[in-house]
């Protein structure tokens, strides 16, 4: 289980906690004290051994603890589902701080247009930046005017290669 910085829902203070931590230690103690007082005043809400109905599938089950809300079949899966939702929400809000390298790899690479030399964001296997450049590349291919686009593999190597590798592979002008 990962421990991250959390914001208390009661007082707004920052604290370290897991995916289900909603309150700082001080507020958690106060809430626990209030819950214990309610319990002493009201007693059992659902007697252990009584029959209740699963919130997920609706089947009856025998109550084995005060916090039980699901039958045995649904309990573990629903617990994982709650953890998963909370973890995904937290990750979406803090993904740049949690894993910056992963998100850097997901960014769309840029490529140089083989016709005009302009940088553009890559979509699939395109080699030109616009419809006009694409038409010009197709026209030059048909007529054989001598306008030969650079191979896509070479452009990718030039753009993505580290500077030391690029210096060795490029020819001086």
What are 118-133's pLDDT values in tens digits?
888 777 777 888 889 8
Structural element, H or E, at residue 138: helix 131-143
pLDDT (tens digit per residue) in 75-133: 888 888 889 998 888 888 887 777 777 766 666 677 888 888 888 877 777 788 888 98
Residues 54 and 92 in one domain: yes
Residue 29 sits in the same domain as residue 68 = no
Report CA-CA distances (Å) from 126 to 68, 112, 117, 137, 147.
56, 10, 14, 11, 17
| Prediction pTM value | 0.34
Q: How many domains does the chain have?
A: 3
Cα distance between residue 83 and residue 89, in whole Å: 10
**pLDDT beyond 80 at 44:** no
Categorize the per-residue pLDDT at 150 as very low, low, confident or very high, splitting at 50, 70 and 90: low
pLDDT at 145: 60
β pairing state of 60-62 and 110-112: unpaired
5 lies in the same domain as 55: no
Angle CA 40–44–45, to nearest 5: 120
**Contact criterion met (CB below 8 Å) for 115 and 136:** yes
Cα 159 from Cα 153, distance rounded (Å)? 10
Within this chain, do residues 38 and 51 fall inside the same structural domain, yes or no? no
Same domain, 37 and 77: no
Q: Which domain holds residue 124?
A: 108-169
Q: Which two tokens stand for residue 131?
A: 């419809």
Which residue, 107, 125, 156, sits at the end of a domain? 107
Six token digits for residue 76: 């573990």
Bridge partners (DSSP) listed for residue 60? 53
């Amino acid at each position: 289980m990962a421990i991250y910085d959390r914001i208390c829902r009661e007082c707004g203070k920052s604290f370290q906690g897991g995916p289900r931590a909603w309150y700082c230690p001080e507020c958690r103690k106060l809430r626990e004290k209030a819950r214990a007082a309610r319990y002493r005043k009201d007693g059992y809400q659902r007697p252990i051994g009584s029959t209740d109905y699963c919130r997920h599938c609706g089947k009856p089950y025998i109550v084995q603890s005060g916090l039980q809300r699901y039958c045995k079949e649904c309990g573990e899966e629903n617990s994982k589902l709650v953890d998963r939702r909370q973890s995904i929400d937290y990750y979406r809000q803090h993904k740049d701080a949690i894993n910056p390298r992963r998100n850097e790899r997901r960014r769309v690479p840029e490529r140089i247009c083989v016709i005009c030399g302009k940088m553009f964001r890559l979509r699939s296997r395109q080699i030109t930046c616009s419809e006009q450049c694409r038409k010009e590349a197709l026209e030059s291919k048909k007529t054989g005017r001598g306008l030969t686009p650079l191979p896509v593999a070479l452009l990718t190597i030039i753009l993505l290669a580290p500077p030391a590798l690029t210096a060795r592979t490029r020819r001086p002008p």
